[in-house]
Structure 1
Amino acid sequence: MSRTVVLRAGPLSTRFPLRPAVVRLVLLVTVVALAAYALTLGRAAITVPDVLAVLSGEETGTTRTVVLQWRLPRIVAAALFGAALGVSGAVFQSLTRNPLGSPDIIGFNSGAFTGVVAALLLGATGYAALTAGALLGGIATAALVYALAWRRGLNGFRFVIVGIAAGAFLASLNTWFSVRADVDIALRAAVWGAGTLALADWTTLAVTAGLLAAVAIALPLAQRRLTHLELGDATAASLGVPVERTKALLVLLGVLTTAVVTASAGPIAFVALAAPHIARRLTGRGESADLASAALVGSLLLLGSDMLAQHALDGVVLPVGAVTVSIGGAYLVWLLVVESRRA
């Protein structure tokens, strides 16, 4: 199989990399198939034909309620949030040129969660207020880390180190808030802090999808700018890219993406770390960022993790964050071993 296809239209031609396109198609089909299978799992026995009947409008009874109101929102949330985390991780790993450059490692998840906890302490109860708190917390953390890491430009290694320190401080602050808060607020914060998709519903998803759609509009431009930055700051500048302003905007894009997910489901760890690595290995792109593939891998990881969280232990439903931490911890150890051997 040729790695590159050349498409021609008269005097115009373009090179089309075939392997990434095939990988994305396979990932998309796998995500859809896994989502369809997830709809059949649960105490209520539902088959694939039942699901198809519901989606086509032929089924209007209890099965329709179970599929459309109970199971489908959570599955859509897993796919959507996983894609968002995958994109965010790819952006930060490309910007920092560091395999550990992920929003959950460098503290932005903790910052967004701090914003949610602060909103709860101020008496917020609605989704809009919690989303605003997460966005403000994430952006404030990013601004602080960016300022502390700035030395005549953004240095990726310094950015990661400062972010890890900021994340550790904010995690401690979140724990202190939970200890000092009223029991009801502490319980709500604990639910968010574990990372869960149990609260997903169509109203929340509509708002989240709208916010993420606005971010998605910028992804083609972000992919192009990331490709330029990967050539080096000097080369990117020679191509007309405003390097530091572009980095700041990409940081904002990644923070907004992860903050929206945190507001809806809490700080879900390690999906943003693992998805870009897996995507690069599958597509053969080496160290280059591939936002579309990272998004699909993120969807697959979070959807699979949530299925394990709900059905791996009979009669026990775990927070999806507990599953991603367990899987991600093993992946992180493997990644550190691989990177140490390269050094």
Structure 2
Amino acid sequence: MSRATSLEPGAPERTGLAAVRPYGYGVWRLRGVSLLVHRRSVAVALGLAVLLAAVVVLYLCVGESFVPPAQVVRVLLGRPSPDQLVVGTLRLPRLVVGLLCGAAFGMAGALIQTVARNPLASPDVIGVTQGAGAATVAAISFNLVDYAQLPYASVAGGLAAALLVYVFAWRRGLHASRFVLVGIAVSVALGSLIQLLLTKGDVLVAQQAKVWLTGSLNSRGYDQARPLVLVLLPAVPALFWAVRAQRVVSFDDQTATALGVRLNRVRLGLTALGVVLASVATGASGPIGFVALLAPQLARRLTRAPQIPLLSSALTGALVVVVADLLARRLFSPLELPVGVLTAVVGAPYLMWLISRSRNRDRSGGAS
């Protein structure tokens, strides 16, 4: 490729030695490294981070007993406080799991929707969550692993389900609509397998598995957060690669192939990363439905970016899970609902709206 022309999506067009940045983009330079950034995405990410910080303080304040915000801040800063037990021991570990799971679900949904080029695609819809759930329910029913090791069983199940979807959806390439349809079929089959495991297992164990399947942060702590951290930290370099790879996947197949991009390998890498994130989050909290479906689309509508923004999707997912868990704890107090019930109440109507919108778009396209 000549120096005078750049075909990288989102990159500035170059004419001679002068560079013209696309509208809405800026260049961030650090120690000789230049990075093209979407200004609105940065502003939205900062706004979401501030809002999330406020919700975190509110979450730690509200409970059976109210803790003043000043004492919450003291606990977070590691200073002595009479509310150390309530905030630091009882509420904070659960909050940490919620934040990590929400961020993982948000990024997983963004990656899978990017590969499928479909807002309906998410780990919940294409069978990844059900695969993780089936492996976890089997581990619980047959006492295969310790409770703290369930996230690892979930990762194995999610990867197996994703591999199954990928194999059956592959026909000289990975077509977006076929990927979603095969995923839905695998999801239904794995859901039936979960019900079979619950029926054949011990009654008490099956009841424990049913509680896990609702998706709840109740009694979650640092033991469940540890596998999340062990997966998320090594995944940071891969996420930087994914941000760049998203631009390549946004091209149509012919353009990407003409540029020498091995599109199928890129799609496989993005899918594998999304599956791992969704699976380990499912193992830690249970299948909290619709977060991976909802968060990326909310983030994209807020940022109006060409690609689904990963950072804003992570912040949105964390915000959705924490707010939903706060409402689940206090809405019907002293009764505590699973957080998955609250996210399903919001996510199910949103899914139906997306389906009806896609149907209307197809009809208008066919009429034209």
Q: TM-score normalised to the size of structure 2? A: 0.87
Return the offset for 1:14. Answer: 5.8
Structure 1 match to 2:317: 298
Residue in structure 2 matching 1:121, options 141, 149, 163: 141
Structural mapping, 1:138-149, within 5 Å: 138-149=158-169
Query: Residue 315 in 1 paired to residue 301 in 2?
Result: no
Residue in structure 2 matching 1:216, options 236, 248, 252: 236
Structure 1 match to 2:53: 32
Q: CA offsets, 1:195-223, max 9 Å, x none?
A: 01113212321232121222233101011
Matched residue type, 2:358: E
Query: Residue 112 in 1 paired to residue 132 in 2?
Result: yes
DSSP 3-state at the match of 1:299: helix
Query: Aligned pair in 2 of structure 1 residues 170, 66: CA closer, same or farther (>3 Å)?
Result: same
Return the offset for 1:58. Answer: 3.4
DSSP 3-state at the match of 2:261: coil
Structure 1 match to 2:196: 176
Q: CA offsets, 1:99-137, max 9 Å, x none?
A: 111010111100000000111233134145422321111
Cα distance in 2, alignment partners of residues 138 and 13 from structure 1: 37
Cα distance in 2, alignment partners of residues 54 and 99 from structure 1: 40
Cα distance in 1, alignment partners of residues 25 and 242 from structure 2: 23
Query: Aligned pair in 2 of structure 1 residues 152, 317: CA closer, same or farther (>3 Å)?
Result: same
Cα distance in 2, alignment partners of residues 105 and 12 from structure 1: 39
Which is greater in Rg? 2
Structure 1 match to 2:295: 275
DSSP 3-state at the match of 1:215: helix
Structural mapping, 1:80-99, within 5 Å: 80-99=100-119
Query: Aligned pair in 2 of structure 1 residues 149, 6: CA closer, same or farther (>3 Å)?
Result: closer
Structural mapping, 1:56-71, within 5 Å: 56-61=77-82, 63-71=83-91
DSSP 3-state at the match of 1:248: helix
Please say if residues 69 and 201 of structure 1, whose CA atoms lie closer than 8 Å, have aligned partners that are also in contact: no
Please say if residues 84 and 258 of structure 1, whose CA atoms lie closer than 8 Å, have aligned partners that are also in contact: yes
Cα distance in 2, alignment partners of residues 256 and 24 from structure 1: 24
Matched residue type, 2:157: G
Query: Aligned pair in 2 of structure 1 residues 8, 271: CA closer, same or farther (>3 Å)?
Result: closer
Structure 2 match to 1:239: 259
Cα distance in 2, alignment partners of residues 333 and 311 from structure 1: 28
Structure 2 match to 1:52: 73
Q: Is there any run of 5+ residues in structure 2 with no aligned partner, and where?
A: 1-22, 363-368
DSSP 3-state at the match of 2:37: strand
Residue in structure 2 matching 1:72, options 88, 92, 95: 92
Structure 1 match to 2:226: 206
Residue in structure 2 matching 1:194, options 194, 203, 214: 214
Please say if residues 105 and 167 of structure 1, whose CA atoms lie closer than 8 Å, have aligned partners that are also in contact: yes
Cα distance in 1, alignment partners of residues 25 and 76 from structure 2: 38
Structure 2 match to 1:258: 278
Query: Aligned pair in 2 of structure 1 residues 137, 16: CA closer, same or farther (>3 Å)?
Result: closer
Cα distance in 1, alignment partners of residues 89 and 190 from structure 2: 36
Structure 1 match to 2:344: 325
Matched residue type, 1:315: P
Q: TM-score normalised to the size of structure 1? A: 0.93
Structure 2 match to 1:5: 26
DSSP 3-state at the match of 2:336: coil
Return the offset for 1:319. Answer: 0.4
Return the offset for 1:92. Answer: 0.8
- State the identity %: 38
Please say if residues 97 and 284 of structure 2, whose CA atoms lie closer than 8 Å, have aligned partners that are also in contact: no
Please say if residues 75 and 81 of structure 2, whose CA atoms lie closer than 8 Å, have aligned partners that are also in contact: yes
